[in-house]
Chain A
Amino acid sequence: METLSHLGHGFSVAFSPMNLLWCLVGTTLGTAIGVLPGLGPALTIALLLPITYQVAPEASFILFAGIYYGAMYGGSTTSILLNTPGESATIVTALEGNRMARSGRGGAALATSAIGSFVAGTIGTLGVAFLAPVVVKFALAFGPAEYFSLMVLAFITVSAVLGSSSVRGLTSLFIGFVIGMIGVDLQTGQPRFTFGMNDLLDGVDVIIAAVGLFAVGETLYMASRRYAGKDEIVPLKGSLYMTAAEWRRSWKPWLRGAFIGFPIGAMPAGGAEIPTFLSYAIEKKLSKHKREFGTVGAIEGVAGPEAANNASAAGVLVPMLTLGLPTSATAAIMLSAFQSYGINPGPLLLTTQADLVWGLIASLFIANVILVILNLPLIGLWVRLLKIPAPQLYAGILVFATVGTYGISQSPIDLVILYLLGAAGFLMRRFDFPTAPVIIGMILGPLAETQFRRAMTISNGDWSVFYTHKLSLVLLILAFIGLAGPHIWAFIEHRRRRGPEHVPGDA
């Protein structure tokens, strides 16, 4: 009941004309950047971070949240019509969605993904509203040791458990730690990793890191692969309205997707890959139209994963708002927006910044309504965006990258750092290192260090706090299982299989 009254108050904040306008701008911009390959919500929000110096926190978070949700809607359009997933979360949508488009049912695929995103996004946002206060009650008992162990668990899950290789994921994370440590140590005032350069005393701005990795790195990568062939846009055929049969086949996958996506997103692990793949596997198993999977495209295979994707995106907001724990690059950049306002997300946020949090949650409901309108009747507009040719698109991205970076302090040194990080981003993309853990490590690393030092100061330098506190121990054990579990499992499987039959493993 308390939640409902908070939510009511939130709607009164979100329904102010200015905030509605921010929501509209955010969702429109979000859809656009979601549609355009090469741009993502993390990059866009990073470029817009300077807005935090100009407007009230409610306004900028409503804008950012609109971009965050909008990018999910826009990304599915690109996956369906172009078969180039704009983001890793929409890989699964491309599997069936693009096949549907090729067999002339692109309209239905777009409709089921937009309506499914709406249903799941609304369920997910309700989940945030009702789960956040519960997590807060739990989190109030956390001390520095528990926080540190929780962050260790999040580090392991975002870098080692998700993604193709735990070694490469952790490498990205540690590079993020190093970038995050550059600058003056806040507790002792000592400069760290500055190589004696005064320009580095303030540290590397998260804008530069995000723009370098996501914009410059991506552009270099695309330039290097010009031979790789182009994707063709499947022209949009068929009506945007789903037939009664398609509705019947869609609604259950939407709900299942939402209930798979939200809990996984809300765990301090995050990531949309696992819920979307899980939803796809389940829908494939339950579908009565198995023959359509992988051939003409099955609508269940679009509806479920799209719903799971949006619900998990909503879920990610739970650890972010209640624990200050970002589990995606976008959430990490939003956390740095909080820091720019001098607000510390954590259990107290819901009470000290009630207007902000509940206004934000209410605006997410509004954003979902706006987005379903933007993405169905106005779909033709977004399809036109897909036709922007690659040369001008990437050149334009670099112009905006320059504005965002050079604008921070008008220092060419910032551009040098930007290009160095861009080169690193290119290598990472080329050699299959995930980039999101760099941003998460860079933002969350210093916070983890603070909690670590706080815990050690309280315990008077005694390391045992991390394993004598029960909760902290449990979190660390979970982290260890996350790191070592898959390897031990693979080793056992390997032994079991090759033991009797002598089948050589592929190492």
Chain B
Amino acid sequence: MSSSDQQPAPPRLAMPELLIGVGLLACAAAVAWQTLAIPVSPLYSKVGPTVFPYITMTGMIVLSLLLILAAVRGGWQPQEEKETPTDWKAMGIVVAGLVANLVLIQPLGFTAASVIMFVLVCYGFGSRHTLRDALTGLILALVAYFGFARALGVNIGAGFIENQLNTVIDAIITTLGG
């Protein structure tokens, strides 16, 4: 670009945007690696399973280069977005909630894991009524489990809470049924 003296400031390299461009380039490399790993039978040599992956890879390389170019020219983030500081602590707690859910869902079952995630996410978003959140989470998880999952015929992992409740429900049904 012309270095006219009217220009407010020379565009500076935008680091986050550059990382995104480079990251996409890395994705394109992964696509290339996985495409080379697709065995091609000579029967399908005309339009085999690799043609589209190669087109996609080419597109991704071109796009990542364009993104890198945009990053070098100062990036594309809107000013408003740049000026808003990222709340890393809140995000960290939310991520901790997600990870806890992932780790605990098999040993503890869906409901218990969900309650822990619910409490952590609420805490991350600034709620300090932990006990109330735990109760809300429990009710919501049970509604999700018994309403949503059973109505949709989806089978989600049952833990001790679900098993106890299932036993109770079955007992009630048998007593009522005679």
* A interface residue numbers (CB < 8 A to B): 48, 50-51, 53-54, 165, 167-168, 170-171, 174-175, 177-178, 181, 185, 187-188, 190-195, 216, 219-220, 222-228, 389-392, 394-396, 398-400, 402-404, 406-408, 410, 412, 415-416, 419, 422, 427, 430-432, 445, 449, 452-453, 456-457, 460-461, 502, 504-505, 507
Task: Say yes or no: is B77 at the interface (Cβ < 8 Å to chain A).
Answer: yes
Residue of A nearest to B20 (CB): A431
User: Nearest chain-A residue to B141 (Cβ)?
Assistant: A399
A-B contact pairs, 14 of them (CB 8 A): A171-B63, A178-B56, A178-B60, A190-B39, A223-B93, A223-B94, A402-B114, A407-B152, A407-B154, A410-B156, A445-B52, A449-B52, A505-B1, A507-B1
Contacts of B123 in A (CB 8 A): 391
**Alpha-carbon separation in the docked complex, A185 to B40 (Å):** 11
Residues of A within 8 A of B16 (CB): 431
| Residues of chain B in range 112-163 having any CB-CB distance to chain A below 8 Å | 113-114, 117-119, 121-127, 133, 136-137, 140-141, 144-145, 148-149, 152-157
In the assembled complex, which residues on chain A have CB atoms less than 8 Å from the CB atom of B106?
Answer: 412
**CB contact under 8 A between A398 and B149, given known A392-B136, A419-B102, A432-B81:** no
Question: Chain A residue with minimal CB distance to B124?
Answer: A223
Cβ proximity bits B41-68 to A, threshold 8 Å, 1 near / 0 not: 1001011110111001001100110110
**Those 9 A-B pairs whose CB atoms lie nearest each other, nearest first:** A407-B154, A391-B125, A395-B121, A461-B46, A391-B127, A391-B122, A185-B49, A456-B47, A226-B87
Give chain B's interface secondary structure class: helix
Kindly identify, within residues 65 to 110 of chain B, every residue whose CB is under 8 Å from any CB belonging to chain A: 66-67, 70, 73-74, 76-78, 81, 84-88, 90-91, 93-95, 97-99, 101-102, 105-106, 110
The contact size tier of chain B is 35 or more
Closest Cβ–Cβ distance, residue B129 to chain A (whole Å):
9
Query: Which residues in B have their C-beta under 8 angstroms from that of A51?
Result: 152
Residues of B within 8 A of A419 (CB): 98-99, 102
* Contact status B114-A399, CB under 8 Å: yes
CA distance A328 to B85 in the complex (A): 32
Q: Secondary structure at chain A's binding surface: helix, strand, loop or mixed?
A: helix
CB within 8 A of B77: which of A174, A431, A461?
A431
* B132 CB, nearest partner CB in chain A, Å: 9
Question: A170 contacts B59, CB within 8 Å?
Answer: yes
Q: Is B73 within 8 A of A507, CB to CB?
A: yes
A226 to B86, CA, bound (A): 8
Q: Closest approach, in angstroms, between the C-beta of B136 and any C-beta of chain A?
A: 6
B90 to A226, Cβ gap below 8 A? Answer: yes
- Chain B residues lying within 8 Å of A193, measured Cβ to Cβ, are 31, 34, 53
Whether, in the assembled complex, B13 has its beta carbon less than 8 Å from a beta carbon of chain A, the answer is no
What distance in Å separates the Cβ of B106 from its nearest Cβ neighbour in chain A? Answer: 6
**A195:B34 contact, CB within 8 angstroms:** yes
B7 proximal to A (CB < 8 A): yes
Q: Determine which of A168, A223, A415 lies in contact with B105 in the assembled complex, contact meaning CB atoms within 8 Å.
A: A415
Q: Which residues of A contact B49 (CB under 8 A)?
A: 185, 187-188, 190, 192
Q: Which of B2, B66, B133, B154 contacts A392 (CB 8 A)?
A: B133
Q: Which residues of B contact A194 (CB under 8 A)?
A: 34
Could you tell me if B56 and A416 are in contact, using CB atoms closer than 8 angstroms?
no
Report yes or no: A167 in contact with B67, Cβ–Cβ below 8 A: yes
Q: Are A54 and B152 in contact (CB under 8 A)?
A: yes
A195 to B27, CA, bound (A): 13
Chain B, residues 1-24, CB within 8 Å of chain A (1/0): the string is 110101100010000110010001
Distance between A18 CB and nearest chain B CB, rounded to angstroms: 15
Is B38 in contact with chain A by the CB < 8 A criterion? yes
The verdict on A415 contacting B118 (CB below 8 Å), with A395-B133, A427-B20 known, is no
**Residue contact A391 to B81, C-beta cutoff 8 Å:** no
Once the chains bind, are A188 and B140 in contact (CB under 8 Å)? no
Contacts of B124 in A (CB 8 A): 223, 391
A222 to B44, CA, bound (A): 48
A395 touching B152 by the CB < 8 A rule? Answer: no
* Contacts A392-B122, A457-B46 given; does A403 touch B98 at CB 8 Å: no
**How many angstroms from the CA of A375 to the CA of B95 in the assembled complex?**
36
Q: Given known contacts A178-B56, A449-B52, is B154 in contact with A50 (CB within 8 Å)?
A: yes
Contacts of B11 in A (CB 8 A): 507
**Contacting residue for A412 out of B2, B7, B98, B102, CB 8 A:** B102
In the bound complex, CA of A419 to CA of B117 (Å): 13
CB of B27 within 8 A of CB of A190, answer: no
- A449: chain B residues at CB < 8 Å are 52
Tell whether, in the assembled complex, residue B153 and residue A54 are in contact, meaning their CB atoms are under 8 Å apart: yes
B111 to chain A, nearest CB (A): 10
Chain A min CB distance to B56 (Å): 5
CB neighbours of A416 from chain B (8 A):
102
The reply to whether B1 and A178 form a contact with Cβ atoms under 8 Å apart is no
Cβ A223 vs Cβ B91 within 8 A: yes
Contact A225 B87 (CB under 8 A): yes
Across the interface, do B76 and A432 meet the contact criterion of CB distance under 8 Å?
Answer: yes
CB within 8 A of B97: which of A398, A432, A460? A398
> For residue A167, which residues in chain B have a CB less than 8 angstroms away from its CB?
63, 66-67, 70
CA–CA, A177 and B1, complex, Å? 34
Q: Which chain B residues lie closer than 8 Å to A225 at the CB level?
A: 84, 86-87
Chain B, Cβ-Cβ closest to A52: B152
| Most chain B CB neighbours (cut-off 10 Å) among A181, A222, A432, A457 | A181
Chain A residues in 8 Å Cβ range of B2:
504
Q: Are the C-beta atoms of B77 and A432 separated by less than 8 Å?
A: yes
* In the bound complex, CA of A228 to CA of B81 (Å): 10
Task: Say yes or no: A389 contacts B127, CB within 8 Å.
Answer: yes
Q: Which residues of B contact A219 (CB under 8 A)?
A: 94, 121
Residue from B51, B124, B133 with most neighbouring chain A CB atoms (10 Å): B124
